[in-house]
Structure formats: structure tokens, C-alpha cells
Structure 1
């Protein structure tokens, strides 16, 4: 497996851990643990960035600059947008979803009790996906049924769905729930989701290589489990808010850095809001969840992270406020053997044990 390193802060001394190990060496070793045609791991410490690319495909420098499909990592962008709109008084986090979908008939009583906060925190009681997507996902795992799912169909599916439990009573991951934030925010602002995200989040944070569509530049190509059969780009259609954002490794680090040091950014209040713990979840309720990030204990303070996947790509982004550390990972393969999420998480946790750094 090949590996190439890029220091994104070439004018400074090489970034090293407390025991003198170059961070680049850690990344080069970690890249070899990931099984995918293209792999990129990137670290930011005190704003100093180091990026390493590799993979089973022939060496190609462009993999470090490619735009990757973020899958469910897109949810963090959507909920940051929601928090921004809430800070501006455009809507409220505890508004009923039904208030922003006023013409939609909702025969099931619990549906009218679902709030925007419930959707953001996966406590709405809604299933992971609408029922009419389940069969296709099982029988045709590499066929993208989302591409034919327009907003009208999404809203009809919601209206016909009976919640699994009372809103706010349990945590249950739901792509359907996050997808519904898209039309809710569109109704509140009169602006489409892509334009909203670009104007209220991406541009203010300087995320020039992050988009909700193919965009310009080089697009990473996902592969089937065999690592050889390429897959077409993933069109998430009405589920774009839940999984349709694309970004480069450098932009992901920039996005994480905004969370690490929100002071002075255009979205300072919202960046802080999305990091506040909201509930406990997992086995024995040992893990915390914020408005959008998973929140795990780590040396010196919690680390926050989210992962995502499409049909042929996987991503990870996590950060540790106590040490000013962020790790991003991207891979062009989606299966249990890929290991990008496990590897990137372990790398972040390893760096959490380093002394505190400041920008």
C-alpha cells in the first residue's frame, strides 16, 4: 500500500508528539491499516496540519485534494445550520416540526409532538429510513434508491410513518429525521437547503471546497467491497440534509478547527451550541450526545466525532477541544474491513493524551 505525505504548514517545524515522534509517521503507519483504493488521513494540532494519502490503487497525488462523499457526517453541517437559524430567531429548536410543514396531514398523534431538536438528536421516534426504502437496501445494496426520492415523497412517507416510541423518550438513529430538517428549514426561510447551507455555514467558515452537489474539482470515486468495481456518485435527493455533503480533507480540518476555536467566527454561538451535551445514550447510557456530535470521554476532556458512509465511501471527523486536536479520515470503500473509522478514531484518541496545545 502506498503512502504520500503533505505538510499543510511547510514553513513551520515538523509537528511531533511529546515523545518526539513525528505526527507524519503516525499517519503513515495508520494509513496502512485502512483497506481502500484511496485513503487520506489528516491531523490538525494547534492549527498546524499534516495530511497523508495512500491506498491500494496506484499512487496518485490528487487523492489528497479530492472531494469525498461525507454520508452521515453531513448531518453535522445540517444541524449547525439549524443552530445558526435558531440563534437568529428564524426558528426555534423546540418548534414542532408540524409548524414548519403546515399543509401536511399527520394522522399519527406522536408526529405532531416531534420537535426540531428531536430530529437533530435522533430522539423523534422515527425509523432509520422510510419503510419503502428498506426492501431495496436489502435486495440491491449497491443501488441508490435515494436518487429517486424527491421532497414530496419524503413528506408523504413521514405522514404515513408511525413513530417507534414517544418523541423525546429514546435515542434511535434516523436518516429520515435529519432529512426532514431540510424542508423544515426551507419553509422557515423561503430558501432551498443547498443555498442556505452555502450562505449560512460554508462561506462564512471558508469551506470553499465543500458542496451539496458534485461541484467543481476532482470527485473521489467510491468502490464496491472488492475494491475494483467503481460506483457512480451518490445522489441523495431529498435526503441531502442527512447525507449529501461532499468535502475535501483540508476543508474537513478547517471545519473541525472552527469548532475547536469558534471565537471570532461568524457562527461562534452556533458552533458552541452544537457541542453542548443533550442526552446520554448507548449501553448503560455511558456515552453522551450533543445536538449533533457523538461525545466520548478521553484524557483531559471529551472528544467529539461523527462518521459517515455512502455506497462506496466512508469518512470520519473528530476533535478534542482540550488539546486543540482534530483528525479527518476519508476512504473510497465502504465495508467492515475498510477500518477508516476505527483507525481515525484510534489516532485521535492517541493524540488526546498529548499535552494541551493552543493556536
Structure 2
């Protein structure tokens, strides 16, 4: 479970129907109160279905001081994908489309990648085995907080035309926001409308979900809870646009209970055959114990399967799931980008674990700097710890950086996953190593070079014209693009799916980072135009040619 560090006040809980108080297991109620009290989440809203009974339980306080309730709106993130799958299944059950229909047939004018004559089908997109990457390589994070805001149909079309599939469609599972977003877009085009309108007419309106929408201009967004990122800071809402089928829906616990009951068959609707089709195991999942329906994850557990899906945006997290016998269901919503799946599973499984809450302690930047350095987990795999402003960060070789928070001297925890770090010291009290705790204990000695640079390093000032010559996209790998931007006399670097960081010039065409021990050199062609960059990190060079704009 992801963890929080900022306490936001005393907890309280309200059940929308006191007579149904027994629907929420006592241990889940106690855990929710503890998480709020410890500042793990600003609010939690849990909707429970037990047979023909249901209730909503709300904890915490919104930013405006009000209590959350069943009609409080949240971004539900990737749970949107289950709605998109239902739209597809509806077309299939009505005989209008087939799962083996090539997506290219729905998008005239698009060039959809194929491999060895095998085309990407609608079923491939919904089963997460299309061969498309998690995100398109030409997705540029807008301001670092709203990643899809400026991504439109033209950019989607351009990326698909340039992408080469690394394997045959259907060959293996790979979670893809791009794939399900493309599915939603294609279904909208096929219906002669857009995804938001199709969703409204075919699902939300028939189910009576009057406080749910994928329309960014809808008035319901005025009642949306304020979102918080994984570090507890307020963050803008996401505007997903052309890839809305992957995560654009805003909804409430009351509305999500309507959706949950319809999927469980507690309330019979004309959509139930399509929902059953979407829940039918049909493809390999991310691990041996999981299968995939159309988007829905089916996890095999002791006592019966769980049908479930989670969601997360920059400031919200969500979970929806139900038991395969269709007797028990749950939806969990929060306005913080910290996973809530563990809470949801604990409602459905008496034996499911519930991690105790962490509590952060204060540390000065001088204290945090004691831990900065590289720690060797095994040859070629280093966990780099560095300070960014007043936040300690950790980054493993080839992976994204994530924040870590102190809960005691030499003890840190991570929000990003079930990770904690214990630092060790030598006889002189200097930090000499670390133990990574994640499904085991992994000692890692500190590199002899000690702390990584934070503010040292001589810089030179480059003129605006020179800085702007570096701005653009550079193809690091089929799935990763390096974006260079220049704003207000400062250059920035960003890798697909990672945060944006400033880079500093030590000479013309030569830059370095301060948050990690890495350098970036730019190459020029015979005409003097920048045509590639090379990233130097961990004694390895990674070259990325510039992408034609």
C-alpha cells in the first residue's frame, strides 16, 4: 500500500445508513480511521455491497473542511477502462462488432502498426496484449502535472504511424493506457461521436449514474474533491482528452455502487450480458494467478476468485472489486495518489493483509543529505538516493525516482510501493550502507564516492537561442522518449513516464543533472544542427537520436 506523510487532522467516519453498519468489516473500519488519523489519506469513501444490501462509509475531511459523502466526486483513473471494455462488449453482444475486428477498420486514415501480417484487434486492446506500449512516445507532460492535457488525435495518429511493434499482437500481456485509450477513441469514431458522449448515452445514463462524466466541461467537476499527489501536495486535475477511454471518468461512491451492482447482477439491466462477457477470463494476466477478461483482472485466491481493477491519477486513487460468486462487492475512493486496493481486498477477503500506517518525522535538509549516495544492491544495479529540495528521493538503475519519508533516524518508507529503507552507519557514525525491505531484506553497501552532487558543479550561461536548439524529442528506445525543454533560461530533461528535472550547462552541448549523478551531451550534424543526445549514467552511455518534428 502506498503511504502518506502529511497529517491532515482528526478522523471521523459516517455511514450513510446506520442500519447497515455491519456491512463494513470492523478491521477495515478501524484501519480506515487509523490511516486518516496518521495522515495517510485526506479522505476515504468506501461503498460496500453485501447481497441485496449496500452502504457508503466516509472518513476524513475535504480541503474545504466539509465531510465527504456518497455524492463526493473523485477521479477514478483506470477503472474507466472497465467502462470502455463494457462499451466494446455491448457492441459484440449486439452483433455490431467482433473481438477479432482489426482496430484499423474503425479508424480510416490511421496507420495502425502490425507485425508479420498480424493486425491489432479490438480484443487485443481490451486484453492488454496489443503490443502497444504503456504510453505513446510522443506524449509530452504539460507542466509536469497534467500529462495528457495537450495530447490530441493528430499526435496519436502520428505516433501509431511511426511505431514498430516489438512482438506479435496477442503474444503477451503488457498494461497499456495507450491501448485502451485507443480503443475508447475508436469506439467513439465508429459510433459517429466521441468517447465521452458514447459513454454517457450507452452506460452512464441507462445506469442512472447522474453524477458521473468523462466530459471535461461538465458542471459536475465543480463538486470534485481536491486531489493530492503522493507527497500530499495539492495537484491539478487531469484532462485526458483523446485517450479518455483509459482514465477520464469522474464519479461518486453512490454512482459507483450502481455500476458495481449492475456488474455483479444484483440489479439486472440490459447491460448485464455485455458485463458478463467483459468479466469472462480470456487472456493471460500479469502473473500466473491472474487472468484477464476485457480489461477486468480476475485473481485466483483461496476461497474463490476476485474480479477487480484499480485506478490512479495524479491526485486520486480508486479500487473496485467483487467476488466471483457475486455476493460481495466494494468500491474505494480517495483524493490522494496512494493505492487503496489493500483496503478493498480486505473488505472482500477476511484473510487479506492490512498494512499498519506509517508516520513521518521531521528532518532538516542537512540530515537528509547524510543519506545521499549510491547503494549497490548487486553488480550493475544501484539505488541512488538524493535530495530534491526538502524531499529525499530514491531511484534504482533504469527505473523512475520515488520519494521516501523518514519515520525515525535511519528509517524511511516509500509511498510508491511496499518499500522501506534502513540505513546503517560505521563506527564513526557515517552512513555506510542500506537495507532495502521489499518482500525480503537486501543489504546494499554505499559506493565509496559518497554523496552525489546536490548544488556543486560549475555552470556556464548559454544564450536563449542555443538553449532552444536542444529542445525536442529524442528516441531512447521503442518505448522511451527523452524530452528536452527550455523555459526562462533553464533547460529541462524528462524521460517518458518520469518527472521533469533541470539540467545545467558545463559547456556548449554539455550538461549535467544535480538530482542524480548523470550527464547529457548533445551531438550535432555536419550543418551544426543538434541531431542526438547521449546520457552518461552508471558508467554506461545511452544514445538517443532526435525525432523529426
Q: Shorter-normalised TM-score: what interval?
A: 0.7 to 0.9
Q: Report if aligned partners of 1:96, 1:112 keep a CA contact under 8 Å in 2.
A: no
Post-superposition offset of 1:240: 0.7
Give the secondary-structure state (helix, strand or coil) at the position aligned to 2:254: helix
Residue 278 of structure 1 is matched in structure 2 by 282
User: Residues 340 and 321 from structure 1, CA distance in 2 versus in 1: closer, same or farther, beyond 3 angstroms?
Assistant: same
Mark the runs of 5 or more structure 2 residues left unpaired by the alignment. 1-9, 353-549
Counterpart CA distance in 1 for 2:97 and 2:53 is 37
Select the residue among 43, 48, 53 that pairs with 2:48.
43
Residue 265 of structure 1 is matched in structure 2 by 269
CA displacement 1:326-353 (0-9 Å, x = unmatched): 111111111xxx342222222222299x
Select the residue among 303, 311, 331 that pairs with 2:314.
311
Residue 184 of structure 1 is matched in structure 2 by 186
Does 1:199 pair with 2:201?
yes
Counterpart CA distance in 1 for 2:351 and 2:255 is 20
Residue 356 of structure 1 is matched in structure 2 by none
Q: Report if aligned partners of 2:121, 2:130 keep a CA contact under 8 Å in 1.
A: yes
Post-superposition offset of 1:107: 6.3
Instruction: Summarize the alignment of residues 192-341 of structure 1 with structure 2, pairs less than 5 Å apart.
Output: 192-214=194-216, 215-217=218-220, 218-227=223-232, 229-261=233-265, 264-283=268-287, 285-322=288-325, 324-334=327-337, 338-341=338-341
Give the secondary-structure state (helix, strand or coil) at the position aligned to 2:145: coil
User: Residues 86 and 339 from structure 1, CA distance in 2 versus in 1: closer, same or farther, beyond 3 angstroms?
Assistant: closer
More helix by share: 1
User: Residues 181 and 282 from structure 1, CA distance in 2 versus in 1: closer, same or farther, beyond 3 angstroms?
Assistant: closer
Residue 33 of structure 2 is matched in structure 1 by 32
Residue 175 of structure 1 is matched in structure 2 by 177
Counterpart CA distance in 2 for 1:220 and 1:14 is 25
- TM-score, normalised to structure 1's length? 0.85
More strand by share: 2
Q: Report if aligned partners of 1:122, 1:171 keep a CA contact under 8 Å in 2.
A: yes
CA displacement 1:91-137 (0-9 Å, x = unmatched): 2221001111122234654686100000001010000001123x749
Q: Report if aligned partners of 2:263, 2:275 keep a CA contact under 8 Å in 1.
A: yes
Counterpart CA distance in 2 for 1:76 and 1:234 is 19
User: Residues 290 and 132 from structure 1, CA distance in 2 versus in 1: closer, same or farther, beyond 3 angstroms?
Assistant: same
User: Residues 223 and 167 from structure 1, CA distance in 2 versus in 1: closer, same or farther, beyond 3 angstroms?
Assistant: same
Post-superposition offset of 1:85: 1.5
Select the residue among 50, 53, 70 that pairs with 2:76.
70
Residue 355 of structure 1 is matched in structure 2 by none
Q: Report if aligned partners of 1:181, 1:241 keep a CA contact under 8 Å in 2.
A: yes
Give the secondary-structure state (helix, strand or coil) at the position aligned to 1:14: helix
Select the residue among 37, 60, 71 that pairs with 2:66.
60
Q: Report if aligned partners of 1:31, 1:52 keep a CA contact under 8 Å in 2.
A: no
Does 1:23 pair with 2:24?
yes
Q: Report if aligned partners of 2:76, 2:312 keep a CA contact under 8 Å in 1.
A: yes
Counterpart CA distance in 1 for 2:29 and 2:284 is 35
User: Residues 281 and 226 from structure 1, CA distance in 2 versus in 1: closer, same or farther, beyond 3 angstroms?
Assistant: closer
Residue 19 of structure 1 is matched in structure 2 by none
- Answer with 1 or 2: which has the greater Rg: 2
Counterpart CA distance in 1 for 2:165 and 2:110 is 16
Counterpart CA distance in 2 for 1:77 and 1:84 is 10
Post-superposition offset of 1:163: 1.6
Give the secondary-structure state (helix, strand or coil) at the position aligned to 2:87: helix
Q: Report if aligned partners of 1:33, 1:343 keep a CA contact under 8 Å in 2.
A: no
Counterpart CA distance in 2 for 1:30 and 1:111 is 52
Give the secondary-structure state (helix, strand or coil) at the position aligned to 2:349: helix
Q: Which has the higher contact order (CA 8 A, sep 6+)?
A: 1
**Quick check: 216-225 or 72-81, which moved more?**
216-225
Counterpart CA distance in 1 for 2:52 and 2:150 is 41
Residue 398 of structure 2 is matched in structure 1 by none
- TM-score, normalised to structure 2's length? 0.57
Counterpart CA distance in 2 for 1:60 and 1:53 is 11
User: Residues 107 and 231 from structure 1, CA distance in 2 versus in 1: closer, same or farther, beyond 3 angstroms?
Assistant: closer
Residue 89 of structure 2 is matched in structure 1 by 83
Q: Report if aligned partners of 2:262, 2:268 keep a CA contact under 8 Å in 1.
A: no
Q: Report if aligned partners of 1:30, 1:347 keep a CA contact under 8 Å in 2.
A: no
Q: Report if aligned partners of 1:90, 1:189 keep a CA contact under 8 Å in 2.
A: no
Aligned residue pair count: 335
Give the secondary-structure state (helix, strand or coil) at the position aligned to 2:273: helix
